[in-house]
Amino acid sequence: MRLISASILACDLSRLAEEIKRVQPYIDMVHFDVMDGVFVPNITFGLPLLEAVKTCTDLPIDAHLMIIDADKYVERFAQAGASWIGVHYEACTHLHRTIQKIKESGAKAYAVLNPHTPVEVLTDILVELDAVLLMTVNPGFSGQKFIEWTVEKIKRLRRMIKERSLDVKIMVDGGVNEETMQKVVCAGAEILVMGYGIFRNPDPSSVRRMLEGIECS
């Protein structure tokens, strides 16, 4: 499975609906970055905009919550149209409870790890997750440079999942583009979140073609 989830944070937000339509033929999901200015040093968007995005597309929307107190909001994000919801391990004191809440709301649940957080912290809870999102930049902004050593984390997580024959998808987010795509896919990533990589590429169809054509030895 090789999917692209397009991060609208990187699009021309003054033309949001047109931007989604422009890349829609080449993507599988829409990635919605929610930042609270507390957990990360930036503030983005919330529930009303998610409702608006929902009216622009039939694609699944994945909400990446970079917020504290996610427990309070997951149900409302599901109601507003997110069919995947991700929360940060670093921001959730009771991660298991939060994951349960996401699932009870009917959405698929993923845990997110910052670059410095080892994948092994998810060893026990892995069985409960639909996906793990590995940050390949520090969360907060689009257009940052891919951190090379995170590729090793993708490989380690792939091994953990395989050893236990689990069906947990691996997502990556941050600096994923035509240049870095091959190494993350061959390391085991299946859902590629792309901001600049898709919205700032003059030819988004080429990104799709390149993804399909990747061969790993």
| Beta-sheet pairing, 169-173 with 131-135 | parallel
Residue 164 tokens read as 């236990």
Residues 54-73 that bind Zn ion (CB under 5 A): 64
Q: Which is nearer to Zn ion, 8 or 164 (CB)?
A: 8
Q: Residue 119, by phi and psi: left (phi above 0), alpha (psi -120 to 50) or beta?
A: alpha
**Residue 197 annotated as binding site:** no
Instruction: Provide the minimum distance between the beta carbon of 58 and ligand DX5 in the complex, in angstroms, as a whole number.
Output: 21
Would the annotation count 33 as a binding residue?
yes
Does 33 bind Zn ion (CB under 5 A)? Our answer is yes
Q: Does 173 belong to an annotated binding site?
A: yes
**Nearest CB to ligand DX5, comparing residues 5 and 98:** 5
Closest approach, Cβ 190 to ligand DX5, in A, equals 16
Residue 78: CB minimum distance to ligand DX5, A: 19
Please count the other Cβ atoms lying within 10 Å of the Cβ belonging to residue 212.
Answer: 8
Nearest Cα to Cα of residue 32 among 83, 107, 105, 69: 83
Name the residue number minimizing CB distance to ligand DX5. Answer: 195
Q: Cα separations (Å) of 140 from 76, 183, 217?
A: 22, 23, 34
By beta-carbon proximity to Zn ion, the closer residue of 26 and 32 is 32
Identity of the residue, 107 or 176, whose beta carbon is nearer to ligand DX5 in the bound complex = 176
Beta carbon of residue 43, minimum distance to ligand DX5 (angstroms, whole number): 12
Active-site residues, by number, are: 33, 173
130 is in an annotated binding site: no
Residues forming the site for ligand DX5 (CB under 6 A): 7, 9-10, 31, 33, 64, 137, 139-144, 173-176, 193-197
Contacts of 126 (CB under 8 A, 6+ apart): 132, 160, 161, 164, 166, 168
Give the 3-state secondary structure of 68-127: CCHHHCHHHHHHHCEEEEEEEHHHCCCHHHHHHHHHHCCCEEEEEECCCCCHHHHCCHHH
Q: Which of 81, 173, 187, 198 lies at the binding interface for Zn ion (CB under 5 A)?
A: 173
The footprint of Zn ion (CB under 5 A) covers: 33, 64, 173
State the binding site. 7, 31, 33, 64, 140-143, 173-175
